Structure 1
Amino acid sequence: MSRAYLLLDSCQIDNLQARVCELAPGSRPHFLYLMTQYAELAFYGPLLVAVQAHSPLAQAFDAHWQATAGIWLESDADEERLIKHLRSLIHVRVEGDVSVLFRYYDPRIARLWLQDLAAGERDRLMGPVSLIRLPEGDLHRKGLARVGAEYAHVPWLTLDAQQLEHLGQAGREAVLQRVQAHCQQFFPAYLDGLDSAGQKQWASACCCSAERQGYSAVDDVMRWVSVYGHFGDTFPDGPDHTVYRQLLASRDGSPKERLDKLLAEFKRQLVCAEIAS
């Protein structure tokens, strides 16, 4: 008999264990990093918990988490076997024989990773998982259930450079969505008159502008939105941007501190302009 589970991202859901216990009393959540070399990060990693359709936990997943913070999966395998296989996927080997953590439980990554694979390869990777429900459409195992793999300190799964670049699309899409949402909430005038495609293009240009100045972290890009939206794509190379260029070029303080000073100067100039008018 098939059972349903949620594989949730503790990094994206505040107080996840407490939330699960509140929404599904008596449930037995499993932290996949436990019993691995990443055990000290267990409460920041993926959590697996059985779920019933239409339950409070299922409703919370549908309402808040399914787009970015976890996947719904189904399996008719023994729960212990399922956990072993899912735990085996928490890290992968990449070029240079380096091991890295693998956030396959992000629905955007799961889709990019599995949807275009040949049926046999997808079945091998899904192992005892028969179905993964994603917002863009379900992923099914085509053949019989596989026994699946088990965790080892050296990952059995490898990803080449092309696969990594493909999966990186999920991260880029997530940043663009956050930039758009941030701008819509705090600086809606910057997006006036732009359709969905135009807003995405604007967000992409904003990210590129920030990256050219050495700011690629999501929090830094969010702060860059205000000055980029005000000055446009010429910032900080326009004729009236000298003071900003000087602040960015300064080697006093950390990059974050230089950005703090730039934003403080930007606010000061806005206040002066308002007073002058």
Structure 2
Amino acid sequence: MLDTARDRAIEPLLRASGLPRECLLAGALSARLLAVAPYVVQLDVHEGGQWLQLLTAVWGGSRGWLAVTRQEVGLALMRRHLRSLLLVPGSADDGPSLLRFFDPRVLRVLLPHSTSAQAERFMGPMACVLVESSASNDAQLCGMGPRPQDVQKLQGLPQLRVFVERAMLREAPLDVRLPPAGGWVLKLTPQQLHALTQDASDRFAERLAHELRRAWPRACEGRSTAELQALVRQALIDARRLELQSLRSLSDYVGLAFRFGLGFEEHPAVRRLLEPDDRPVEQRLARLFLEMADGDWADLQAGAAARSARREDAPHDD
């Protein structure tokens, strides 16, 4: 299962490989969408080393995950089963939502938090799935334990290769359950939704901390990654308290909190421009850049400089 949106180089690589594949999305898709769509690709360990070449090329960077099935489980059946999992029920107002299980960053959070019934429904014709661990090229192996959501670990790509070859040669047990003709509806529990939301929030904070260091390298000197991420997480909490929601507005708020300090919104000029009115809060945040006087920006900057000086003068442990 490959998520080409994670890396634009994957789709051309798939076309060049000639391996049997199907897009998980249906309908008339534009070339632009096909280039970033999820694909299910059929690999066969009995047909030379082509499967290993593709696996080696894409493993790392959380660009896909691997499912082991019996040989009689063909590409059409796998696509039908996986498509049946794409939508999960939502609220009466919002309707169903797309479950991005094809993104390994989502799947490695989803499966360990699944109930036995959920895991069995997800697995369907898959005997097991192998997903990259978050911090390395190791694989989380789900589906081979006493419960389908049990997670084991394979160390690195070589061990993963050995396991796949043995499993496909039927030296490892494969307990395959075929899905019913109508597929299944996978319902997420509040615990899964919380885990997925927290994981997405953590990754967003890590990305913003990385962008801060890239945009203001000198200002980030002397600040550890953990310190930057802690500032970003607190700034995101403050931003959401103001009901900011879009990625752009959250990013802008974090940038302001970094430059002028947490709590910058308590400055009288900032507070006045952010006061609730009939405009969306994102538009009120934009007013800061359009309407705030130069003197107020200078005042904010002076306050940030004073706090930075106090931090540098504070005693440090040896």
Question: TM class, shorter-chain normalised?
Answer: 0.7 to 0.9
Q: How many residue pairs align between the two structures?
A: 254
TM-score, normalised by the number of residues in structure 1: 0.73
Residue 47 in structure 1 maps to residue 39 in structure 2:
yes
- Cα RMSD (Å): 3.6
TM-score, normalised by the number of residues in structure 2: 0.65
Residue 129 of structure 2, aligned match among 109, 128, 131: 131
Q: Which runs of 5+ in 2 are unaligned?
A: 44-49, 145-173, 302-318
Structure 1 stretch displaced more, 42-51 or 227-236: 42-51
Residue 21 of structure 2, aligned match among 10, 15, 29: 29
Q: Which runs of 5+ in 1 are unaligned?
A: 1-5
1:254 and 1:190 mapped to 2: Cα distance?
A: 32
1:199 and 1:272 mapped to 2: Cα distance?
A: 23
SS in 2 for 1:73: strand
Q: Which residue type is aligned with residue 246 of structure 2?
A: A
SS in 2 for 1:138: strand
Q: Which residue of 2 aligns with 1:259?
A: 285
- Residue by residue over 1:65-103, the C-alpha shift from the partner in whole angstroms, topping out at 9 and shown as x without a partner, is 41xx43333333322221121111101224659422111
1:267 and 1:74 mapped to 2: Cα distance?
A: 62
Q: Which residue of 2 aligns with 1:7?
A: 2
Q: Which residue of 1 aligns with 2:75?
A: 79
The CA deviation at 1:181 is 1.4
Q: Which residue of 1 aligns with 2:264?
A: 235
1:160 and 1:118 mapped to 2: Cα distance?
A: 9
Identity %: 22
Q: Which residue of 2 aligns with 1:172?
A: 201
Counterparts in 2 of 1:116 and 1:161: CA distance versus 1, 3 Å:
closer
1:272 and 1:196 mapped to 2: Cα distance?
A: 28
Q: Which residue of 1 aligns with 2:189?
A: 160
Counterparts in 2 of 1:269 and 1:53: CA distance versus 1, 3 Å:
farther
Which structure would you say has the larger RCO, counting Cα contacts within 8 Å and 6 or more residues apart?
Answer: 1
Q: Which residue of 2 aligns with 1:108?
A: 105
1:149 and 1:7 mapped to 2: Cα distance?
A: 24
2:187 and 2:29 mapped to 1: Cα distance?
A: 24
The CA deviation at 1:259 is 3.1
Residue 243 of structure 2, aligned match among 211, 214, 227: 214
Counterparts in 2 of 1:272 and 1:99: CA distance versus 1, 3 Å:
closer
1:253 and 1:16 mapped to 2: Cα distance?
A: 42
Larger Rg: 2
Conservation of the 8 A alpha-carbon contact between 1:109 and 1:167: yes
